[in-house]
Structures are given as structure tokens and as C-alpha cells.
Amino acid sequence: MSGSVDGAASTGRTASTQGTDSARGARQDAVRVRVPAKVNAQLAVGGARPDGYHDLANVFLAVGLYDEVTVARGTPGEGPVLTCTGPDAAQVPLDATNLAARAALALADRHGIAPDVRIHIAKDIPVAGGMAGGSADGAAALLACDTLWGLGTPQDELLALCAGLGSDVPFSLLGGAALGTGRGEQLTPLPVGGTFHWVFAVADEGLSTPRVFQEFDRLTAGADVPPPAADPALLTALRAGDAPALAKALANDLQRAALSLRPALRTTLAAGTEAGALAALVSGSGPTTAFLTADTEAAHRVAAGLTASGTCRTTRVAASPARGARVVAGSADPAAGAGA
């Protein structure tokens, strides 16, 4: 996969061994994992299924905004203990509902070990912003725990655990670009022929993803909702690295629902377009809005225009695709055995 902003071309190694080969099987004291946000270049949504979920055709792009999750050994018997710092950290739950804690519990249960870890989340991905920040933390914690405990779990098993945590979690582990089908968890990697430049406008308050889907169901009640499918023109634009062509193909079936719940986002979308963005859309379930630009210089101009418009709380500039969850720091004691 070409065009990664941080040299994330696929190496063929599993996620659990990226950057940690020398430590595999050794006892780790603490492990830090960096994990990217995502933007949906296309989010096609089918009608509600009997289980309450929706079939999706979800074209994910990982973007260069990152959370970092550090996992260290905790006190025996206390289970996962979470802390969080960074923008909007007060909005992050620090109990068992947090996907990072759930990831540690799921991996420990899978291998029959005690989940006694201390998990610290350094937030930089917008919270409740439609950029999969919570899912990213779950994927990062899973990889960090796997490395901390010296498990070397195969990637397909890690992805299965991710899918059990949430629909976006598997992509956070892989990164790059992928088509997600089913609930979004069944991933097919996609080739990308260049770097795409984005501006993200962060809203004042988050939006609940379940609430947005409920609004989608309300707005489409009685309508014939077609089965979701990836747009061939969009996939071609990604493969060619063609930003103008990608701009024409960007689409989000949840945008109407997000705008219904948060009408003020229309003003933000208009402000970014007026500032020179090639295209504007709600990111995932929102309320973060995403603006595709021609290059880095244009991205900074659009960000400045959005800031001046007063229609958003803050803006972020980033490029895609970006590498998925990866170990960036971790100490090993080669003389010690694996396990908790």
C-alpha cells in the first residue's frame, strides 16, 4: 500500500510483531502503542437488520491524528485501571465500558491470564467525533497487552477479538485503507496511489453513534434502502491518488441524519467549502466535519478559514493513509518469561 504519511507500507508481519520482534516472548514492563484516527471516504448504509445492526460498505482511510495508549503491569487482582489525559479527556469513561479496558479483559480471557494492567490513554483524536477514537484505543490496548504479556497472538485472532469489541476496531488495528463490509468489521485492504490531505473541524459537543443510526432509521422509514456497495469511481480515485476525483465521489449516508440532529453543521460544511476545500462531508456519524484539499498548503488555508468563520471549536490538519496501531515504545527483560 503506497502513499502512507509515515512510511506505513505493508511489511507482511502481523500487527502484534510490528516493531517488537526482538522483544517477542520477553517479559515487558510497559508498552506504548500509537493508533490513528479514521475518516470514511464512503459510508454506505443498508436498512436495519433483525439484530439491530446495519450492513455497511465503509471505505476507511486512516489519518495522521493519533492517540497513544500505554499499558503497564498493575497490582494483582485489581484488573484494568484506566487513566486519560489530553483534549476532552474528561469525556472519556474510565470504567469497564471503555474499549481499552474491554480489550484487555477479552485478551486475558482468551489466554487464561489475569488482566491486571494499568492503561493510560493520551488522547489526541477528537472524542465522540466520528473518527473512531474509542475504537482506536481498543485496538491499541489489545496490541499493547499482547506485547506486554509476550503472547504473539496471530493477527487473525487479534482481528477477531477486535470485531467482538466494535465494528471500527479491526480497521484501527490495520490502518491504511480498507473496505469494511458486514457491520464494517470484515476488511479488504485497498490500494492507495498517493497522499490525501484533510482538514477536520471539531464541533463543540459530540454525537452518539447509536442516536445517529436511529435518526437514519427514522428518516428512511418506509423507503427502499438499497444494499450498500462501494463506489467503483471512489476506489479508482484512491488507487490513482487523484484528489479531485476522490472529492467528487466522497459520500456518507449518515450525513443527513447527523445534520438533522445537529443543523449547525451545515454552516461548518459551507464555511470549509468557501475556504477552498475540494469537498466537505460529515466524518462518520459526526459531528466532526472533514474537508478534502488539494495539498498541504490548501489544507492550512481551509483550516484558517474555518477558524475565522467561528463555526467550529478547533481544526486539525492531517494526511492519509496512515499506519495502523503499532508499538512505539516498550522495555523488555529478556531473562524473564512471558505471561502475567
In contact, 2 and 132? CB cutoff 8 Å: no
In contact, 172 and 325? CB cutoff 8 Å: yes
Assess whether 168 carries a catalytic annotation: yes
Q: What residues contact residue 72 under an 8 Å CB cut-off, 6+ apart?
A: 29, 30, 31, 117, 118, 120, 148
Please state, in angstroms and rounded to a whole number, the distance separating the CA atoms of residues 158 and 151.
11
Assess whether 248 carries a catalytic annotation: no
Q: Containing H/E element for 144?
A: helix 133-148
- Cα–Cα nearest to 5, from 329, 318, 338: 318
Please state, in angstroms and rounded to a whole number, the distance separating the CA atoms of residues 323 and 6.
7
Q: Which residue has the cell 479508482?
A: 236
User: Active site residue: 38, 55, 67, 137, which one?
Assistant: 38
User: Active site residue: 55, 67, 137, 168, which one?
Assistant: 168
The Cα-based distances of 112 to 28, 109, 340 in angstroms read 18, 5, 10
Active-site positions?
A: 38, 168
